[in-house]
Structure 1
Amino acid sequence: MSVYTPVGRDELAVWLQPLGLGELIDHAGIAAGMQNSNYFVTTASGRFVLTLFENLEPAALDFYLALQDRLAHGGLPCPQPLADGEGRRWRPLAGKPAALLSCLPGAALDDVTAGHCRIVGALLARLHQAAAGMPEALPNPCGAAWRQQVGASLLPQVSADEAALLADELAFQATQDWTGLPRGVIHADLFRDNVLWDSHGQLSGVLDFYFAGEDAWLFDLAVVANDWCADDAALAALVAGYSSVRTLVEAERQAWPAMRRAAALRFWLLRLEVRHRPRQGEVVTIKNPDDFRHLLTRFRLAPTALPR
């Protein structure tokens, strides 16, 4: 949630009028995340989150907002898009498509326990079930084809050691076939900073659905494991929480070591893109790609089985 596109108070006030939220009191940029421009917006009706989408096509934006609306109505703690009197969930603002969503309570955690991982695992499985059968679902925008294309394009830009690792991993991933695994719409970016917890330790919000798409559910579990699980106990708790809602099949267990590598590769590539092809913005978050390079190397050297 960086700020690439500035928004003036007067133009925002005009944009808000069809939503009937009363007087605009304040708006402030949010310096987190990497892809879109985000602001906290306070009106006479309360606090909201405004997102300006920097690179999304209308069809993709329609899907992401419809997904959040579906999940929110299904009882999951995710942002609810606000629609105007004509049912529009987004409209142009400052030259970009923009949407206003409910602002959820709570804060992200820096330090997580196995107990947190179990809760997140169960929530992820609930999300998969709630989004199952989503009409006109888009494919995972950073799926296998994206990883091959972006990885190949970055080979000339990275160091020799990185290029050797990247080329070898791309060749390995090209041999994997996960088309037979259970699949549906996945979040694809459920990092710790996209999950909120209230003052009582309850999970109160799931954020940032703008990498969501259809893919193997196991890929989503691997994304979460790679960020949340620092040890075997945390991983066992995550898998136990997930399995309490949806049982993992044997084919998923067989695919797990390679899937964790694919998830690490995806975020290494995303951060390499930001490092080597930066975009201009007022407040831009740059995250270190080396964290996921090291994680990928560890999974290549010491693959581990999915806990039972």
Structure 2
Amino acid sequence: MSVYTQLTDDQFSAFCQRFGVSFACAIPITQGIKNSNWFIQTTDDVDGAHSYVFTLFEERPLEDIEKMAVILNQLDGKLPVAAPLSLVDSAEKCYVIRYDNKAITLVPCLAGSHPQQTTQAMCHEIGTALAMLHETLQALQPSEQYGVPLYPWSDVRDRERQFMPADEAKLMSDIWQSYTDLPLATLPKGLCHLDMFADNTLWNLSLNNSQKGEESLTGLLDFTEVSVEHYVMDIAITINDFCTTWGDAEQGESVNFDRSKMAAFLQGYESKRSLGADEKRALPVMLAKAAVIFWLLRLNVIHYNRTEGRTGDNIMVKNPDLMKRLAAYHWSHVEKAKNTVFVLLDNLLASQKDIQIVGVFSNITQAEQARDKLSNSSEFAIKEYTVDQLS
């Protein structure tokens, strides 16, 4: 069920006219569970095509939707977003119609498809796009007036930890404490997307493009959760989905993180916005914390469905164990890094029995980034050493 509020054709026509769009037909959209959505065919559309998406927001406060509309119009022209149209009958810039104390927006349809799998090239491109998003939204000041409040995940943590096995509760607590111990005050903050998963993006995924590795980004979606947060947290959230292959049930729901994809993402991101030293040091812990947040989010959905009595085949719940496993993977790297250094070696010089150490790094991410910046990175290797042990 994706249409909760029923509208007549006369109402659609009147609403669309206020946006300067000539209405012909409204087609209900079957996906989604929170809002009422329709594709809008205009009098100029041919062969059953549709040009716009009409959304009536059933739950979100009007003020949140108005903020989202401003954010999307700030990004319009710089990134592929569906920016809400402005009202033609308003003297001031206005993107939202108020109807029955709910918000209505009209946005252009975006081309493209959701990717089933990602490539290194796609990770590089989404990294570039996220950096551009962070940079562009800095123009909206003070940023707190445009972002929605962050969800109180610590409350969910305290509730769910009571019912977890001891090892899971310890994992969550250790990660949370390590996050708290970061120099958070030194980490840059601003408006962040905070849900840039692959299924919130659209790509040109034609067969020829896929074969050439030339998939192109055509759409960024779902800006309803934009909040003020540390940029490195937004980076971690995006990396966790784009750089992980999630196995289906037949594959035992495996979780496979690809560090080469992460290196490509960071290279793309830093082509537009350089990461500070504190951000680079914080990233491994942020990756673990981001996985914990989405672990809690999925547990919270289960809790909400249970308390609200929501059941049925149309209720989709993602497996929280997948995010738990990803959190454990990242945490193992954080713990190992406490006693490990990563040495960047020049294989060519080593073969000549000359000085071979190029750099020494506290984590693999920084070592990989340094290697990738070298003119011929294939000539360089990264070797891992445990501190206070003979090699």
If the TM-score is normalised by the length of the shorter chain, which range does it land in? 0.7 to 0.9
Separation in 2 of the partners of 1:29 and 1:173? 40
Residues 122 and 4 (structure 1 numbering): CA distance in 2 closer, same or farther, change over 3 Å? same
Tell me by how many angstroms 1:13 deviates.
Answer: 4.0
Letter in 1 for 2:153: R
SS at match of 2:186: coil
One-letter amino acid of the counterpart of residue 278, structure 2: A
- Report SS of the residue matched to 1:24: strand
Structure 2: how far apart are the matches of 1:93 and 1:305? Answer: 53
The structure 1 residue matched to 2:227, chosen from 203, 213, 220, is: 213
Counterpart in 1 of 2:40? 41
User: 2:16 matched to which residue of 1?
Assistant: 16
Report the secondary structure of 1:302's partner residue. Answer: helix
1:148/1:170 contact within 8 Å kept: no
Alignment-derived partner of residue 77 in structure 1: 80
Residue in structure 2 matched with residue 133 of structure 1 by the alignment: 139
What CA distance in whole angstroms lies between the structure 2 residues aligned with 1:266 and 1:245? Answer: 27
5 Å-filtered alignment, 1:211-250, equals: 211-230=225-244, 231-250=258-277
Structure 1 Cα separation of the partners of residues 40 and 173 of structure 2 = 44
TM-aligned CA deviation for residue 284 of structure 1 = 4.8
Distance 1:248 1:296 in 2: 23
Match of 1:25 in 2: 25
**Tell me, what secondary structure is at the counterpart of 2:291?**
helix
> Match for 2:65 among 42, 45, 61?
61
Cα 1:4–1:152 shift into 2, 3 Å: farther
Change (3 A) 1:67 1:88: same
String of CA shifts for 1:52-97, please: whole Å, max 9, x gaps. 334433332222110000100x421111111212143112346532
TM-score calculated relative to the size of structure 2: 0.69
**C-alpha distance in structure 1 between counterparts of 2:155 and 2:161, whole Å:** 10
For 1:204, the equivalent position in structure 2 comes to 218
Q: Distance between the aligned counterparts of 2:304 and 2:237, measured in 1? A: 23
Give distance in 1, aligned partners of 2:264 and 2:149: 27
Matched residue SS, 1:117: helix
**Alpha-carbon contact 1:140-1:215 (below 8 Å) kept:** no
Indicate the SS of the match to 2:285. Answer: helix
In structure 2, runs of 5+ residues without a counterpart are: 45-49, 210-214, 245-257, 335-362, 370-391
Shift of the alpha carbon at 1:9?
A: 4.2
SS in 1 for 2:139: coil
Mapping 1:217-296, distance limit 5 Å = 217-230=231-244, 231-278=258-305, 284-296=315-327
Cα distance change of structure 1 residues 297 and 94 upon mapping to structure 2, 3 Å threshold = farther
Matched AA of 1:205: G
| Higher alpha-carbon Rg | 2
Shift of 1:37: 4.4
Superposed counterparts of 1:96-245, under 5 Å: 96-138=102-144, 141=148, 143=150, 146-156=152-162, 158-160=163-165, 162-163=168-169, 165-198=171-204, 199=206, 200=209, 201-230=215-244, 231-245=258-272
Say if 1:133 and 1:184, in contact at 8 Å, map to a contact too.
no
Structure 1 residue 115: Cα displacement: 0.9
Shift of 1:151: 2.0
Distance in 2, matches of 1:277 and 1:4, equals 21
CA-CA distance at 1:6 after TM superposition: 4.1
Alignment partner, residue 300 of structure 1: 331
- Aligned counterparts of 1:62 and 1:193: Cα–Cα separation in 2: 24
Contact 2:3–2:28 (CA under 8 A) maintained in structure 1: no
Q: Per-residue displacement from partner, 1:110-145 (whole Å, max 9, x unpaired)? A: 1111111111111111111111131242386574x7
Contact 1:51–1:98 (8 Å) recurs in 2 = yes
Q: Distance in 2 between matches of 1:237 and 1:20?
A: 42
Identity %: 28
Question: Secondary structure of 2:117's partner?
Answer: coil
Give distance in 2, aligned partners of 1:40 and 1:93.
19
Deviation at 1:305, TM superposition (A): 4.0
Residues in 2 aligned to 1:176 and 1:207: alpha-carbon distance in whole angstroms: 31
Maintained 8 Å contact 2:36/2:58? yes
Q: Any idea what SS the aligned residue of 1:132 has?
A: helix
Amino acid at match of 2:57: F
Out of 116-125 and 86-95, give the one that drifted further: 86-95
Write the letter of the residue equivalent to 1:28. Answer: P
